[in-house]
Amino acid sequence: MASIFSKIINREIPAYIVAEDNNFIAFLDINPLAEGHTLVAPKKEIDYIFDLPDQDIAQLFVFAKRVAQSIRKVVPCNRIGLSVIGLEVPHAHVHLVPLNTTNDINFAKPKLTFTKEHYAELAQRISVTFK
Catalytic residues: 93
**What is the C-alpha to C-alpha distance for residues 93 and 14, in angstroms, rounded to an integer?**
18
86 contributes a contact to ligand AMP by CB under 6 A: yes
To ligand AMP, the closest distance from the beta carbon of 84 in angstroms equals 7
Q: Which residues in the 16-35 window bind ligand AMP by CB under 6 A? A: 27, 29-31
Nearer to ligand AMP, 33 or 74 (CB): 33
Length of the chain in terms of residues written: 131
∠ CA(58), CA(61), CA(62), 5° rounding?
A: 90
**What is the C-alpha to C-alpha distance for residues 84 and 27, in angstroms, rounded to an integer?**
15
Q: Which residues bind ligand AMP (CB under 6 A)?
A: 4, 15, 27, 29-31, 39, 85-89
